[in-house]
């Protein structure tokens, strides 16, 4: 049986828009206030970026499957994703405030870093996972550039304190890999997973 839609267990408008551009119909499957989603994203001591992002994506998928069952919703594939920015072994998640965002962007200034996005899809009892790794090189950033970006508010709620689809895209001197992966949903890997889950792409 070919599914006609996918449950999206993410509040990210970017992921929803990218799926729409792929021709995929989505229905939200979001956590309620009783679920501590932020706890799933806590980094374990000594954890490598690759291991971290894959583990979190799988945890998010498990939580979404329980949510689907508890709400008695009709069966369909479920999609989750998790993105992190890595500077060497260091994991740069979502900044807690302006000071942390400033420190993250200062660390990325004039350097190359990796953006890792893990996508996980479930279909019945089966689960499929893909990892996208993209290397991004930033131009040197002045303190005034960083401050203006933080003042604009784009840095919050994003791994590494930036979104490449916004003003920070002008800082990316080189992107090697998946541009949409840096945005939070690598479309090639996502399409591959959804086909395996029985969705017509």
Over the stretch 9-34, which tens digit does the pLDDT of each residue have?
Answer: 998 999 999 999 999 999 999 988 77
At 52 the pLDDT is 97
Reported as a single tens digit per residue, the pLDDT across 44-54 is: 999 999 999 99
The residue among 127, 15, 38 whose CA lies nearest residue 78 is 127
Asked whether the beta carbons of 79 and 8 are under 8 A apart, the reply is: yes
Number of structural domains in the chain: 1
Catalytic residue among 51, 82, 96, 147: 82
Q: Above 90 in pLDDT, residue 98? A: yes
Q: What is the 3-state secondary structure (H, E, C) of 73-126?
A: CCCCCEEEEEEEEEECCEEECCCCCHHHHHHHHHHHCCCEEEEEEEEEEEECCE
pTM above 0.95, yes or no: no
Q: Could you tell me the pLDDT band of residue 2, with boundaries at 50, 70 and 90?
A: low
Residue 113 lies in a domain: yes
User: Domain range holding 35?
Assistant: 6-196
The answer to the question of residue 201 being in a domain is no
Q: Is residue 1 part of a domain?
A: no
Average pLDDT, integer, range 73-91? 96
Q: How far apart are CA 139 and CA 173, in angstroms?
A: 6
Catalytic residue flag (residue 17): no
């Amino acid at each position: 049986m070919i599914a006609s839609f996918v449950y999206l267990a993410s509040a990210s408008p970017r992921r929803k828009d990218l799926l729409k551009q792929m021709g995929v119909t989505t229905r939200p499957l979001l956590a309620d206030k009783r679920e501590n989603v932020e706890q799933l994203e806590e980094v374990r001591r000594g954890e490598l970026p690759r291991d971290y992002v894959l583990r979190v994506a799988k945890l998010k998928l498990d939580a979404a499957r329980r949510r689907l069952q508890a709400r008695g919703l009709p069966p369909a594939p479920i999609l989750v994703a998790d993105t992190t920015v890595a500077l060497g072994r260091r994991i740069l998640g979502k900044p807690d405030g302006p000071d942390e965002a400033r420190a993250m962007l200062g660390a990325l200034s004039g350097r190359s870093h990796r953006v890792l996005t893990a996508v996980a899809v479930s279909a019945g009892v089966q689960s499929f996972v893909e990892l996208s790794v993209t290397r991004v090189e930033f131009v040197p950033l002045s303190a005034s550039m960083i401050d203006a970006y933080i003042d604009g508010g784009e840095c919050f709620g994003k791994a590494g304190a930036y979104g490449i689809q916004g003003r920070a895209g002008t800082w990316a001197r080189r992107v090697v890999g998946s541009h949409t992966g840096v945005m939070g949903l690598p479309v090639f890997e996502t399409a591959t997973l959804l086909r395996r889950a029985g969705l017509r792409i």
